[in-house]
Amino acid sequence: MNVTSPEPAVPAARGRISAAVVEYLRGTGPLPDEKAVSVAAPLGDDLQLALYVCYELHYRGFAGVDADREWDPDLLRVRAALEQAFLKTLRDGAIAHKHADEALDELLVEPVDGSGVSHFLRDEGELWQVREYAAQRSLYHLKEADPHAWVLPRLWGRAKAGMAAVEFDEFGGGRADRVHARLFADLMADLDLDTRYGHWLDATGAEALATVNLMSLFGLHRALRGALVGHFAAVEITSSPGSRRLAQAMRRAGAGSAAEHFYDEHVEADAVHEQVVRREVVAGLLEEEPHLDGDVAFGVDATTYLEDRLAERLLGAWRAGESSLRPPV
């Protein structure tokens, strides 16, 4: 399945800020002013879409947008204001631990009566809900591991070696057909979903956008390298048990063999990755830079916080018999 599709279309705006950013990229209007950014909801659709659009210029860009916009100084100033609002909200609301070990140890405890998205889809999810989940997560999984690669030049020793080893697996171990983003595109094809990169952006809510923006925020800033490692650790530690439930959900819903394979692959791979990330990446980083302990914990907590918000949106809609997407699939 093709995941190296042409640059995606510029998305439809969702408010004053995203409209101004989109118009600026098209050359038809000015950027938003500081006041507009300051009054926007940091986790709302308008700000999160504007931030996503700014970040996407560092990935594949958009059709019809000059590649030089990636380093446009005026746009970078607006992006910085959006980031500050996002980061402040996370620091104010997400921090639950002071130390990395405490945050990571808590992730290892699986609740007996789990009630998250993977539990719902495994136990009672219908095929249309499985399809919506894949559409919402496509913005994340079709760039899986890309933002984490930005941290490699900022690490050394055990942390760099461990991170590179896990990333090598994420990128298919040298085989294009095993790149995890490709495997997710195959999953989407099984579910009869459009597999083009960025296709589902207009249908994806702010909660899902925020989970993607978090990776880009941490990845693009050297000052947040500890938080990026924390985010990566949180993803790898929680992936294996969640993927096992999602593989079961795919089988029960009749999603198809490629859909099952994507999560089966993560059950095995991420069980190994969890150990490498904890013992080599996190431990190696903190051995060299112990002052980043709190930043690693923050990365774990911010990841959990935003994933919980996304789960609330999905489950709230599905339990009401409604679509979780902006327009239905």
Instruction: Give pLDDT tens digits for 279-322.
Output: 999 999 999 999 999 999 999 999 999 999 999 999 999 999 99
pLDDT at 2 over 70: no
Residue 96: exposure state from Cβ atoms within 10 A (0-12, 13-18, ≥19)? middle
Number of other CB atoms surrounding residue 108 within 10 Å: 11
* Per-residue pLDDT at 112: 64
CA distance 282 to 315: 32
- The predicted pLDDT at position 24 comes to 97
Average pLDDT taken over every residue of the chain? 93
Residue 114 is predicted with a pLDDT of 78
Residue 4 has pLDDT above 60, yes or no: no
- The answer to pTM > 0.85 is yes
With tokens 């938080």, the residue in question is 227
pLDDT in tens, 138-180: 999 999 899 999 999 999 999 999 999 999 999 999 999 999 9
